[in-house]
Amino acid sequence: MGERLLKRRLDLGLSQREVTEILGASVGTLTAWEKSRQEPGERYLPAILDFLGCDPRPTPETFGGRVRAARKAEGLSEEALAHRLGLQPGTVTAWEGGEIRRPHPQTRKAFERWLASRQ
């Protein structure tokens, strides 16, 4: 992610200070990201993905992984997504972690509708 941020910033001819205003981070934090010393925290992810114009993270292979990646891309906590979908936070945790042995069809449909609404 750091290399992508640096390349995008340079391609746009922006200073680090200008980018930190866009992302809501400090110059020191952006420097750490650009030098791959630190990964961006989840709260910065929506702004970073918007700035990059794409999601450079690998595509998750599992349904739960797709849910987790989409949740993080929106900057949502498990609790916030659960509230949005009318579920318990533990349900989101279990689905993201692949811990569901007998998935409830209505719950899966709720996740699928939410994922489809993001596209």
- Mean pLDDT computed over every residue of the chain: 94
**pLDDT score, position 101:** 83
In a domain, 88, yes or no: yes
Residue 64 has pLDDT above 90, yes or no: yes
**pLDDT score, position 100:** 86
Structure tokens at 50: 């918007």
In a domain, 15, yes or no: yes
Q: Does 113 share its domain with 67? A: yes
pTM: 0.78
Q: Does 105 share its domain with 68? A: yes
Q: Does 10 share its domain with 42? A: yes
Q: Predicted confidence band at 103 (pLDDT cuts at 50, 70, 90)?
A: confident
In a domain, 111, yes or no: yes
pLDDT digits (tens, 9 = 90+) for 33-47: 999 999 998 899 999
**pLDDT score, position 42:** 86
Q: Predicted confidence band at 102 (pLDDT cuts at 50, 70, 90)?
A: confident
